[in-house]
Amino acid sequence: MHEMSVALAVVDQVERAARSRGAHGVRDVHVEIGELAGVVPDSLGFCFELACAGTALEGAALHTRSVPGRARCAPCGRSWDTGLPPDMVCAGCRGAATELVSGRELRIAEVRWAAGPDSPEYSNATNGEET
Ligand SMILES: [Zn+2]
What residues does the ion ligand 1 have nearby, CB within 5 Å?
73, 76, 78, 90, 92-93, 95
Residue 109's DSSP bridge partners are none
Mean pLDDT value across residues 74-87: 94
Total Cβ atoms within 10 A of residue 37:
19
pLDDT number for residue 59: 95
Dmax (CA) for the chain in angstroms is: 62
Residue-wise pLDDT for 48-76, tens only, equals 999 999 999 999 999 999 999 999 999 99
Q: By the 8 A CB rule, do 98 and 3 touch? A: no
Which structural domains are found in the chain, ordered by start? 2-68+103-116 (3.30.2320.50)
- Give binding residues for Ni(2+) as ranges: 2
Task: Provide the pLDDT for residue 125.
Answer: 40
Q: How far is the C-alpha of 15 from the C-alpha of 32, rounded, in Å?
A: 18
**CA gap 89, 125 in Å, rounded:** 50
- CB-CB contact of 22 with 114 (8 Å): no
Ligand 1: distance of its center to the CA of 105 in Å? 24
Residue 1 exposed, middle or buried by CB count within 10 Å (0-12, 13-18, 19+)? exposed
| CA 127–ligand 1 middle distance (angstroms) | 49
Given a contact cutoff of 8 angstroms between Cβ atoms, the answer to whether 111 and 28 are in contact is yes
Mean pLDDT of the chain: 89
CA 71–ligand 1 middle distance (angstroms): 10
Binding residues for Zn(2+): 73, 76, 90, 93
Q: Residue 41, preceding bond cis, omega within 30 degrees?
A: no
- Distance in angstroms (rounded) separating the CA atoms of residues 9 and 25: 17
In 3D, which of 90, 86, 124 has the Cα closest to residue 102? 86
